[in-house]
Chain A
Amino acid sequence: NAGVTQTPKFQVLKTGQSMTLQCAQDMNHNSMYWYRQDPGMGLRLIYYSASEGTTDKGEVPNGYNVSRLNKREFSLRLESAAPSQTSVYFCASSARLGVEQFFGPGTRLTVL
């Protein structure tokens, strides 16, 4: 089992460009999450999906959109990237909300 996978691992964007970060899990988990982690800081929840077909805003949703494509996949889209969105993005999944989360390896995004 691969666990939680994220693509791409690294990405450099120019201000105003758009991109989608992909996340997939093979653990048959119901809940999935997107976090960002700025240098030297803790993680902040962007969006989460309690179950297939539902998505909800987290602490810092502005500038992002998400899609729970199916039970396995949860994507994060930046419509118009800004330098303030330079960060490491982590996807996670859990069997249900509130229990142990399994994290992916992260995507390092730089917006110039």
Chain B
Amino acid sequence: LAKTTQPISMDSYEGQEVNITCSHNNIATNDYITWYQQFPSQGPRFIIQGYKTKVTNEVASLFIPADRKSSTLSLPRVSLSDTAVYYCLVGWGGGYNKLIFGAGTRLAVHP
């Protein structure tokens, strides 16, 4: 069971780069790593997904080392609107019912 561990909370300031790391020691060979963002009273929103090495899109980068036992979500130049909870999700590697959301990281961005 690919359980994930993330920091409970993080603080940052506008314009800084934020890196949130997720540990997933029991990741299966076919598992993907996905990150979601959630604002209060809303459903989660997809940010990025990767399998290995580095993935980049218009809002974030995802770094995955060779052993895939952890991953790091990088948010460049955060703004106040990036204040949210960020979830690391590991799964879909053949055991679909094992899709596990972590407890999430509460990111607070300050002026």
Contacts and interface: CB of A to CB of B under 8 A. Distances in A.
Contacts, number: 55
Contacts of B100: 45, 59
A45 B103 CA distance: 13
18 contacts: A42-B101, A42-B102, A42-B103, A43-B44, A43-B87, A45-B100, A56-B96, A58-B99, A59-B100, A90-B43, A97-B92, A98-B32, A98-B91, A101-B46, A102-B46, A104-B43, A106-B41, A106-B43
A44 B26 CA distance: 18
Interface string B79-111: 000000001000110001111111110000000
Contacts of A100: 34, 46, 49
Contacts of B91: 98
A102 B46 CA distance: 7
Contacts of B29: none
Interface of B: 32, 34, 36, 41-46, 49, 87, 91-92, 96-104
A43 B38 CA distance: 11
A105 B41 CA distance: 8
Contacts of A106: 41-43
Nearest to A98: B92
Interface in A59-112: 59, 90, 92, 97-106
Nearest to B97: A58
Contacts of B34: 100
B96 A44 contact: no
A58 to B, nearest CB: 5
B100 to A, nearest CB: 7
Contact of B43 (A41, A48, A56, A92): A92
Contacts of A97: 92, 96
A45 B32 CA distance: 17
Contacts of A103: 42-45
Contacts of A56: 96-97
